[in-house]
Copies of this chain bind each other. A is one copy, B any other.
Amino acid sequence: MLSIQDMFVFCKKKGFVFPDSEIYGGLAGFWDYGPLGIELKRNIINEWWQRFVHEREDIVGIDGAIITNPKVWEASGHVDHFLDVLVECGKCNYRVKAESLIEDFLGIRAEGLKPEDFDRLIKENKIRCPKCKGEFKKARFLQLMFETSVGPVDGVKSYLRPETAQLIFINFRNVVETSRVKLPFGIAQVGKAFRNEISPRDFLFRAREFEQMEIEYFVHPDRLDECSYFDEVKDMEVNVLTAKMQEAGVKEAKKMRVADLVTERIATKWHAYWIALAYKWFVDLGINPKNLRLREHLHSELAHYAGACIDIEYRFPFGWKEIYGNADRKQFDLQQHSNYSKKELCLYDQATKQKVVPYVAAEPSQGVDRTFLAFLFDAYSYDKKRGNVVLKLHPRLAPIKVAVFPLLSNKPELIKKAREVYTTLKSHFNCFYDQSGSIGRRYARQDEIGTPFCVTIDFDSLKQNDVTVRDRDTTKQTRVKIDDLAGWIGKHLK
């Protein structure tokens, strides 16, 4: 399997992702998407919005600001609790996130530990600075939010949002009053978030600026197990690493039915339903299920307000890592903002004729950049026979859908016909025209960037008004009439 460093090299070389401000030496934890990367990212976001907003009756979208009134982050607990633990070498001042240090040295999960826990672990295991072998100073908390100041001269101290979720909660009342939603329903959002990570690492995986796709799903607090959609997913099989298994030292996930998550009290029906939908979304868009697993959070990992939290993890070259999290957040956030703002954040439930503070039964949340990375790793393959990389992205995710080639680049009549075909297809799909190099080289270039179809115009095309369509994954060639071509491709992109 490709290492994360190899993946970065591939992404840069092909124009998927560049280091931000590289000509100035870059800035750690920031990345720019290149011409192919932005297409893949847009396709990911559009597939998500289509599936979870447009095709559903119970979800509406919003798009909140990145900078918001700082009271939002006081109420949510971020100002006091959204902290990382830093350790610093007493000799060379090397600074590292305590969690990363411990995970690298001891290979154990260190999320959520306190400064004193890290001090103890460092002492017990005689961990020294990896740069100079010096001793570490006492661990301490650091604020993870980026600060800024809003307004001229002595502005208001505010923050760049460290997550998109709170923008949903603070808009809850406005959405309810304008959208005629009724319980159960969800609010979706896609957008950037910022965390001043001590140690950004693993390419896009842990960046300081990143993008999230999130839903807060609200249900009646007395009806947590009345999920009318549950039958759609109950028999789906998923790989699961339960809290119990982790406590017993089990490393390999086991297969379970989604219904078992409920009977084994790992998740409520609503919670299990939403996790199943995300799992299915990844699989439908091409991720091999053997590289996916659910991981139930241990009780010690849970935020004090959370009823349960389940991640979807992807098997990266640097281990199984979270690409999606889904917490049962209870009524915590709405109650918290209601207390802080002195505004009533509830709704009148027609069905029960009650005013209720809705319960967040599920919070499907995934990083766009991590999703991007998982799709790339899963699609990447080297074909020995062809002698080139084949990026087997789902056709709906592929940055370029069709490449159009004249068979020979020195025959004006082939070029003329190829240009006509290209121009027609361009209004339907993102296309690429190429007449340079051998046809084999041109196929290889498209394989490497995941283009599902290559259309070649040859001398027969001039007589028969048809083309060869070559399939990326099978290399199978099909003859298609030019008049039917856009329709044929449209059908095969699904």
Contact = CB atoms under 8 A, between A and B. Distances in A.
Contacts of A150: 27-29, 146, 196, 208
Contacts of A160: 148, 160
Contacts of A173: 23
A426 B152 contact: no
Contacts of A69: 20-21, 24-27
Given A28-B151, A35-B175, A67 B209 contact: yes
A248 interface: no
Nearest to A49: B42
Q: Please tell me how many copies of the chain the complex holds.
A: 2
B30 A65 contact: yes
A343 interface: yes
A413 interface: no
Contacts of A149: 146-147, 196
Contact of A178 (B22, B35, B41, B64): B35
Interface of A: 12-15, 18, 20-35, 37-39, 41-42, 49, 54-55, 57, 60-69, 71-72, 75, 86, 88, 95, 142, 146-153, 155-156, 158, 160, 167, 170-171, 173-175, 178-179, 192, 194, 196, 198, 208-209, 337, 340-341, 343, 345, 426-427, 429-430, 433
A88 B154 CA distance: 13
A41 B189 CA distance: 13
Contact of A15 (B25, B49, B179, B345): B179
Nearest to A341: B23
Chain A at the B interface: SS class: mixed
B32 A65 contact: yes
Q: Of residues A55, A65, A167, which shows the largest number of chain B Cβ atoms within 10 Å of its Cβ?
A: A65
Q: Of residues A23, A62, A71, which shows the largest number of chain B Cβ atoms within 10 Å of its Cβ?
A: A23
B148 A34 contact: no
Given A21-B68, A178-B15, A426-B54, A142 B152 contact: yes
Contacts of A61: 35, 38-39
A350 to B, nearest CB: 11
6 contacts: A21-B68, A32-B63, A35-B179, A55-B427, A67-B209, A155-B196
Smallest CB-CB A-B distances: 10 pairs: A15-B178, A21-B69, A35-B60, A33-B63, A23-B341, A24-B71, A30-B65, A24-B69, A38-B63, A32-B64
